[in-house]
Amino acid sequence: MPEASSLPLRVAVVDDEPLARAVLCEFLSAEPNVEVVAQCANGFEAVKAVSELTPDLLLLDVQMPKLDGFEVLDLVGRDVAVVFTTAYDQYALRAFEVHAVDYLLKPVSAERLSEALARVRERLDRGERSASAGTRAGAMAAAGREGYAHRVLVRDGPRVHVIPVDKIDYVQAQDDYVCFRSEGKDYLKEQTLGEVETSLDPAAFVRIHRSYLLNLARLVRVDQDERENRVAVLTDGRRLPVSRAGYTRLNSLL
């Protein structure tokens, strides 16, 4: 009988290829004290599974439709340990930068999978989730890989909102969160404004204020109010404060 300290490890297997999931499940079924709680064929399903089933571990493929493995980690990395499985070795460095627990190359061997599981258990015993700074590292890795982000992903429980960057009006810092304003809606994400700023194209987004990052395409003009404070007027009429440093940055771009 398992002791209290070794509760079953609850695993979700995420891969768009049924056979790739099958071989992992086969290996997992031979492992003691492991339970496969979900099999997901894409990133959206994975995020949903994390929200609803709270697994301990995601075995996560990198190249998948809709959301790739790194984007999934960016969204759920705080809640679950992640082990990547892929045929590509070029993602390994990035995987460890975003604090994946392990990185398995396909074809996967049962022994290598056992090692990865042991590593996950060790971490869980120490009370750590995979990516304590998952979001941060994910955003930074996202910025570092292929130029600037094309889209922003925001998790809303089991759902994922995909916001193309050109649909963002501005981003506002709110305590531990940032708020993306897009098409009349606000999306909250646990991240700092500085991290968002580095992931977006600096030619399109300007930090006009400590708390605001503005999409230049939304700017109509800069007004001055009665107390000499500068205010950015957006295409929808909204007014955002502009700091002195922000005004300098704006001027250098316009």
CB closer to other proteins, 65 vs 202? 65
Do the Cβ atoms of 242 and 231 come closer than 8 Å?
Answer: yes
Show the binding pattern over residues 50-89: x = contacts other proteins (CB under 8 A), - = does not: -------------x-xx--------------------xx-
Give the residues across from 242 on adjacent strands. 230
> Does 159 interact with other proteins (rule: CB under 8 A)?
no
Q: How far is the CB of 44 from other proteins (least distance, A)?
A: 8
C-alpha 48 chain-centroid distance: 14
Q: Which of 37, 41, 92, 179 binds other proteins (CB under 8 A)?
A: 41
Name residue 152's amino acid. Answer: V
CB 39 within 8 A of CB 64: no
Does residue 20 belong to the site contacting other proteins (CB under 8 A)?
yes
Phi, psi of 52 (to 5 degrees): -90, -30
Q: For other proteins, which residue of 106, 119, 167, 218 counts as binding (CB under 8 A)?
A: 106
Which tokens sit at 133?
A: 């700074």
Q: Is the peptide bond before 107 cis (omega within 30 degrees of 0)?
A: yes
Q: Does position 22 bind other proteins by CB under 8 A?
A: yes
Number of amino acids touching other proteins (CB under 8 A): 23
Q: Find the binder of other proteins among 92, 105, 140, 179 (CB under 8 A).
A: 105
* N-to-C CA span, the chain: 69
Per-residue DSSP letters for 150-179? SEEEEEETTEEEEEEGGGEEEEEEETTEEE
Interface region with other proteins, contact rule CB under 8 A, candidates 144-152, 165-173, 179-187, 213-221: 144-152
Selected from 37, 124, 162, 179, the binder of other proteins by CB under 8 A is 162
**Of the candidates 65, 17, 21, which has an alpha carbon nearest to the alpha carbon of residue 39?**
21
Contact between 144 and other proteins per CB under 8 A: no
The footprint of other proteins (CB under 8 A) covers 16-20, 22-23, 26, 41-42, 63, 65-66, 87-88, 105-108, 146, 150-151, 162
